[in-house]
Amino acid sequence: MNKHVLCLCAALVAAPIEARAQSLPSRPEFGVQVAAALSGGNNFAIGGRIRYPFSLTAPAPINAIADVNLFLGNTTVADINWNLVYNFVPHSEFRPYAGGGVNLSTGGGNTRFGANAVGGFDLGHVGRLAPYLEGRYTFFSLDSFIITFGVRF
């Protein structure tokens, strides 16, 4: 079983969606996303995202990501995040990244601040669309692990 999982992971890394290598974006990219919280409460969300180069650092593969998610349910919860992420393989179609940032969650008369630990993958380009998959743990405010899938354009 483990050999099959390793072979599948290796095949995904080795098979780019497009033949040309991509660099990190040099301009802001906007996107839409869906999210699922894996630890109770309102479990599903829709949202939007902007990703842009973080230029206060030396030339490094660092991006800033700001996003808003609306978790819909009996009580709608707005989840607002700003994260800095380091791109481990910046000149590839399949780009893993990790980082952290801050969170503001509001809903049901409560507003709480938190911190994020985030990791994800840019999954290449399909035409002008750039899909991504991300996992985030939000401490203090939501205390929740959230999986996000979206596309930037």
pLDDT tens column, 108-147: 899 999 999 999 999 988 899 999 999 999 998 878 999 9
- By the 8 A CB rule, do 33 and 49 touch? yes
C-alpha gyration radius of the chain: 16
Most confident of 25-34, 80-89, 140-149: 80-89
Give this prediction's pTM.
0.79
- Is a pLDDT exceeding 80 seen at residue 54? yes
Domains of the chain: 2-152 (2.40.160.20)
pLDDT the model gives residue 60: 73
pLDDT the model gives residue 59: 65
Cα 49 to chain centroid, rounded: 9
* Higher local confidence (pLDDT), 23 or 147: 147
Distance, in Å, from the CA atom of 106 to the CA atom of 77, rounded to the nearest integer, reads: 6
pLDDT the model gives residue 40: 64
The number of beta carbons lying within 10 Å of the beta carbon of residue 68 is: 16
